[in-house]
Chains A and B, each alone.
Chain A
Amino acid sequence: MITTDYIITAPQGMHARPATNLVKLGKNFQSVISLKKGEKTVRINSLLNILSLSIKGGETISVMVDGEDEADAATAIGLFFTQQLKDQ
């Protein structure tokens, strides 16, 4: 399992549109991908669950990737949080 922490640099945080893209991104991989904020952990296959974390700009979240293609998945997710999220 690969665990990485990210600071959300997009000022608006995780809104519906980037969250949709994250769900879609996750579908490309076999690995189970989860987000953790505070005490709450959710899988990224559910838009509702991602939004229920209410992730805001400046907050820190952990991403857990577990599965056969975890290395590739973690790279793609990393790119999402460090770059793509800010452009959306």
Chain B
Amino acid sequence: MKGIGVSPGISIGKAFVIKKDKTFVTSVLLKNDLEISSESERFNLAVDLAIAEIESIKTNRELILTEEDIAILETQIEFISDPQLKEDVIEKISGDKKNANDALIEVTANLVELFLNMDDAYMRARAADIQDIGSRILKHLNGSVKSDTQQFEPDTIIIAEDIAPSDTITMDTRYITGFATQMGSKTSHAAIIARSKGISAVVGCGDSLKLIKDGDVIILDGISGQIYINPDQQLIDEYRAKREDFIKQSEKLKALRDVPCVTTDGESIMLTANISGADDLADVFENGGEGVGLLRTELLFMNRDTFPSEEEQFEFYKKVALQSKDKSVIVRTIDIGGDKQLSYFGLPIEQNPFLGYRAIRICLDRTDIFITQLKAILRAGVFGDLKIMFPMISNVEEVRAAKNILAEAKKELQEEHIPFNVDIKVGIMIEIPSAAITADILAKEVDFFSIGTNDLCQYTLAVDRMNEKITHLYDPFNPGVLRLISNVIEEGYKHNIHVGMCGEMAGDPLATLLLLGMGLKEFSMSASAIPAIKNIIISHSLSSAQEVCKKIMEMDSSSTIITYLQDLAQ
């Protein structure tokens, strides 16, 4: 069975199934003012009791509460004592003559509905918290309060419909190794608590979770979301090994995360990530990334029926900017065409789409599309260190034309009196051989270069990346490709502009020393590749990398180069 893995880790243990008490509406109406006032009293008392219960958890010395736990308890108290909740319930009691039980159930349901309909995922997840508050008061209203702290055996995996704050607070989590719930999302309480306590968790498993009974042996994979019920010994052994690996790996990762990326002789190198949206950022920082070397914007344009408006795009970039912790974020302008098509933008089928109407070529032709995107990025630049990068540049005229349109976008924003970042940095992607060869010319026009090795390799070697028959020719270690890369870095250095790399090669451990030796300053890759690359950089000196680079640049074939690098790695 499979759910959504929301807290990484692998747990093997025994199931403990939590069942919720069901609540019922009685539909009994109140007869007179006396009953009304006594029901109101009863509700107020239940609220007081519910608060007292949480206060007693807060001061219970047997539970080891973290600052996080206390904050959750305090939020619970504020929810329970909320004047709006009270006002709504009392209104239903005195106005609609409902009894306290029914009034509370109704008010809770309305609030849950309200939060479920919000457009923000975090707020939607709060609906479960509100349901929990309602149930908690209801419990006191009906006088059925169960014992406070639950005890578990070691290696317990909790199985529940959903896990509410009040559940986790009264649980002794020391022996809990995993959570699995029917409902929930990445931002639901179970997920947040599990991550903060380092417990693996899988949510959103659906009804099939009901198959699990108390005492079943469970394997829970919080990364893939996979759950196994009563697995055989072979599978248990396999997952035990996986768990060992995960623990080792995450310890290493943690140890490296906050280590500055500096060579043994003091050269600072930037390790950044390639991402597709704000949701990817947490992972970047978790892996020790220091920003974003490539924000792809295609997601924003794909899987829809029309071009996104300036406002929609602005929200997308702003979200990234706000969550970027003021680190550098390079935003690549639309890179559609080639293998990336849009259903609503009728691009004709071409003989050679990779050599055709794509990326900056479309933008310079359809300036209306381009200017909308540029305005949105400029505006979002107020909220973080966003930079603009133009892809598929083949000559200096294209750079100048793109910059002219950027100036036009700024002018329009000025006239509309909308705040934007006037001094936004502008760079280009170097992925066409002519651009790599004329790096000296292009460097005078921009603030930075980012080398896109995937396309640079395919264009330089005349190899279609998608053609399986010739994949062996697709080789970034080809001396021709290496010379182009080296030239770009050198010209960037001469003209005092920043040079980074955002292609596959930047995340290839085999290439790290060579690129470092060439003088590359920023390596941008998928977040998960960062720790391994960092490990290489911090354990070598720049001067030794320069030696490696010098030797390699004198070698005549890619096979010699790769063999040399492989020997070096051992």
A48 and B130 contacting across the interface, CB-CB below 8 Å: yes
Residues of B106-149 contacting chain A, CB below 8 A: 111, 114-115, 118-120, 122-123, 126, 129-130
A58 and B383 contacting across the interface, CB-CB below 8 Å: yes
Check: B255 CB closer than 8 A to any chain A CB.
no
B82 and A48 contacting across the interface, CB-CB below 8 Å: yes
Check: B424 CB closer than 8 A to any chain A CB.
no
Check: A11 CB closer than 8 A to any chain B CB.
yes
Check: B79 CB closer than 8 A to any chain A CB.
yes
A52 and B114 contacting across the interface, CB-CB below 8 Å: yes
A20 and B130 contacting across the interface, CB-CB below 8 Å: no
B82 and A47 contacting across the interface, CB-CB below 8 Å: yes
Residues of A within 8 A of B (CB): 9, 11-13, 15-17, 19-20, 23-24, 45-49, 51-52, 54, 56-58
Known: A17-B71, A20-B71, A48-B130. A58 touches B123 (CB 8 A): no
A57 and B78 contacting across the interface, CB-CB below 8 Å: no
For the complex with contacts A20-B78, A54-B118, A58-B319, 20 further pairs of A-B residues with Cβ separation under 8 Å are A11-B322, A15-B122, A16-B75, A16-B126, A17-B75, A20-B75, A23-B78, A46-B85, A47-B79, A48-B82, A48-B111, A48-B130, A49-B82, A51-B115, A51-B123, A52-B114, A54-B119, A54-B120, A57-B322, A58-B318
A47 and B123 contacting across the interface, CB-CB below 8 Å: no
A contact residues around B120 at 8 Å (CB): 13, 54, 56
* Distance from A40 Cβ to chain B, minimum over Cβ atoms (Å): 12
* Distance from A17 Cβ to chain B, minimum over Cβ atoms (Å): 5
* Distance from A20 Cβ to chain B, minimum over Cβ atoms (Å): 4
Residues of B380-410 contacting chain A, CB below 8 A: 383
Partner of A11, one of B78, B111, B323: B323
B contact residues around A20 at 8 Å (CB): 71, 74-75, 78
Q: How large is the interface on B (under 10, 10 to 19, 20 to 34, 35 or more residues)?
A: 20 to 34
* Interface class of chain B by DSSP: helix
* Distance from A15 Cβ to chain B, minimum over Cβ atoms (Å): 6
Known: A20-B74, A58-B318. A48 touches B118 (CB 8 A): no
A49 and B126 contacting across the interface, CB-CB below 8 Å: no
B contact residues around A51 at 8 Å (CB): 115, 123, 126
A contact residues around B71 at 8 Å (CB): 17, 20
Chain B: which residue is nearest A23 at the CB level?
A: B78
* Distance from B449 Cβ to chain A, minimum over Cβ atoms (Å): 29
A contact residues around B118 at 8 Å (CB): 54
A contact residues around B130 at 8 Å (CB): 48
* Distance from B203 Cβ to chain A, minimum over Cβ atoms (Å): 18
Distance A48 CA – B287 CA, assembled complex (angstroms): 35
Partner of B83, one of A15, A17, A46, A57: A46
Chain A: which residue is nearest B189 at the CB level?
A: A16
* Distance from A86 Cβ to chain B, minimum over Cβ atoms (Å): 11
B contact residues around A24 at 8 Å (CB): 74, 78
- A-contact 0/1 string along B180-203, CB 8 Å cutoff: 000000000000000000000000
Of A16, A19, A51, A58, most buried by chain B (CB within 10 Å of CB) is A16
Check: B84 CB closer than 8 A to any chain A CB.
yes
Known: A11-B322, A56-B120, A57-B322. A16 touches B129 (CB 8 A): yes
Distance A45 CA – B85 CA, assembled complex (angstroms): 11
* Distance from B530 Cβ to chain A, minimum over Cβ atoms (Å): 21
Distance A52 CA – B120 CA, assembled complex (angstroms): 11
Known: A51-B115, A54-B119. A46 touches B82 (CB 8 A): yes
Chain A: which residue is nearest B130 at the CB level?
A: A48
* Distance from B263 Cβ to chain A, minimum over Cβ atoms (Å): 32
Chain A: which residue is nearest B85 at the CB level?
A: A48
Distance A12 CA – B125 CA, assembled complex (angstroms): 14
B contact residues around A16 at 8 Å (CB): 75, 126, 129
